[in-house]
Structure 1
């Protein structure tokens, strides 16, 4: 039976063969016992470590009978060679967000539907971006460093006067899923939000807040990056754009470092003119001697914004729900097309 023909699988048919390729370190987070049980009820599962599947022989052994592949980081690229090793493959469900590393022209040409679970991480990333925003407005990073390094009480207090988010001007670059969640949170706390996204349409609920990139940078107390990594956005914010930020502004990036000239940003932050909070870097893992680690007015986290207990569980549930839709002949709620990827990171 063709699983793409819109017909529910016959109860007399052999069990659906599912290849589950999630890194061992993340497996239980994505698929705790109840979620794995729900998935098991939909077919026969073969569990494989993605790194091990890089071997063509191991991939063919695991994927040869697979009709559905559930993927994550480290899964082999689905090019013509790999697809030939998985002739029965009818659907790919990606438990993470970006699929650029996974898909190929051969994959798209094969017409295999694919879905991703990026929506699971949007609340988590937006939340960390909000935490960063609040921390920088209150100058927490600088006061914490001073107190821990032995500064006197008065020295720790001697920072630029803190701001509250209510009434603060927040500029958001990118009306993505995470960008929209971040906007909602900032508005709920009374911030004045503006947005730069050239793809906002006139009928979008955020259209009234749309502005140019230069105006956003020059007029914001906090600038938060929520754009994807695409050819169009790489290097979007360079030295000239950063110079538009007013003295005392804050810069938050939980998206991708490629959107920003990181050397130019470092120069601005190290001068003390602006503060920054970053979850993403050009070099990851961040080297032990990287100069970003030494800036007292930079708040840093190790590319962890989307990796909460809650987001991982949501991602696993999305996979199960998508598989149910596929088996019922219904459209995938989080389906991707080749065109979609042109605007996605």
Structure 2
């Protein structure tokens, strides 16, 4: 019987594997769990867990498959990650050793799309500014004196990246009446037509959108793609939503744009996480902040657990994986 190591503490296991999913996982093999209170972020703990494991299920905080860990795991053949990016766990050595990799990023698309929509609506209606004003003790009349607010219906929304989350967001904002521009070099005319969007270059999208929502992966070409020049292209009063990766935006340039008051932004991701208590973002009335939780719905996590369960089943039956990460794609899983 195959040994399936679950490299996650009890609280994380419960999020992704409700009782029925856990029972199904148990039926696939003999489960190996870390000792109570053990930290799977410790390479020695992970190495001990994988001694006779054929499959490892990874979650937040798991140590990477370093050469030392792999040396203790001669039978390991599959890493199944409950999240999207496998960069913190997978190594070139693990691929060289023949360890295959799969991930559950698809499970998060709708949750992230919904959060991006929620942030978009909050920015358009000035909810963040009203909340900040009332909580900081300004008088009622001053709190009401927010910049002009807009509706989503009829607004031009620019989406950077027609990824899974980008497509989920597109469907939601279009359903509420937005016109959508998309900047994505891989989106062809036929796909754009099917999505009901217009293709645009990044500069065109930035200058012509009331809302810009980021959904691109982190690649060499996308790191810092929204810098001071790009932010200056956005019209006064425009809104920026980032539920993707902080590396897409020059954080210092964004801070400058927000301090100037030209734009408002909603951010779920930051260069430094946890976001320091004294970070200037926390004090800005035109910044709406969430702590990297866009994908963290109950439903999203349970979908992720179901994907991991199904992928392990396919692997053990010798079937093709549906969410496999190939070595050459490792640099594009951000």
Structure 2 gap ranges (5+)? none
Which has the larger displacement, 112-121 or 133-142?
112-121
Residue in structure 1 matching 2:32, options 46, 51, 56: 46
Q: Is the counterpart of residue 255 in structure 1 residue 244 in structure 2?
A: yes
Task: Output the CA distance in 2 between the equivalents of 1:147 and 1:61.
Answer: 53
Which residue of the partner structure matches residue 180 of structure 2? 193
Alignment coverage as a number of residue pairs: 331
**What are the equivalent positions in structure 2 for 1:1-345 lying under 5 Å apart?**
15-48=1-34, 52-55=39-42, 57-204=44-191, 205-206=194-195, 209-345=198-334
Q: Is the contact made by 2:111 and 2:295 (CA closer than 8 Å) also made in structure 1?
A: yes
With structure 1 as the length reference, what TM-score do the two structures score?
0.91
Which has the larger displacement, 81-90 or 53-62?
53-62
Aligned residue for 2:148, secondary structure, equals: coil
Aligned residue for 2:28, secondary structure, equals: coil
Q: Is the contact made by 1:168 and 1:191 (CA closer than 8 Å) also made in structure 2?
A: yes
Q: Is the contact made by 1:223 and 1:250 (CA closer than 8 Å) also made in structure 2?
A: yes
Q: In the superposition, relative to structure 1, how do residues 114 and 135 fare at CA in structure 2: closer, same or farther (>3 Å)?
A: same
Task: Output the CA distance in 2 between the equivalents of 1:144 and 1:59.
Answer: 44
Q: Is the contact made by 2:43 and 2:64 (CA closer than 8 Å) also made in structure 1?
A: no
With structure 2 as the length reference, what TM-score do the two structures score?
0.94
Q: Which runs of 4+ in 1 moved over 6 A?
A: none
Aligned residue for 1:75, secondary structure, equals: coil
Task: Output the CA distance in 2 between the equivalents of 1:342 and 1:61.
Answer: 29
Task: Output the CA distance in 1 between the equivalents of 2:310 and 2:277.
Answer: 41
Q: In the superposition, relative to structure 1, how do residues 342 and 88 fare at CA in structure 2: closer, same or farther (>3 Å)?
A: same
After superposition, the C-alpha distances for 1:267-312 in whole angstroms (9 at most, x for unaligned) are 1111111111111111211111111111011111111111121111
Aligned residue for 1:335, secondary structure, equals: coil
Aligned residue for 1:172, secondary structure, equals: strand
Which has the larger displacement, 126-135 or 111-120?
111-120
Structure 1 gap ranges (5+)? 1-14
Q: In the superposition, relative to structure 1, how do residues 40 and 206 fare at CA in structure 2: closer, same or farther (>3 Å)?
A: same
Aligned residue for 2:293, secondary structure, equals: coil
Shift of 1:106: 1.9
Task: Output the CA distance in 2 between the equivalents of 1:121 and 1:112.
Answer: 24
Q: Is the contact made by 1:121 and 1:306 (CA closer than 8 Å) also made in structure 2?
A: yes
After superposition, the C-alpha distances for 1:19-60 in whole angstroms (9 at most, x for unaligned) are 011134322111222211111111110112797345555334
Aligned residue for 2:190, secondary structure, equals: coil
Q: Is the contact made by 1:21 and 1:48 (CA closer than 8 Å) also made in structure 2?
A: yes
Q: In the superposition, relative to structure 1, how do residues 150 and 120 fare at CA in structure 2: closer, same or farther (>3 Å)?
A: same
Which has the larger displacement, 58-67 or 113-122?
58-67
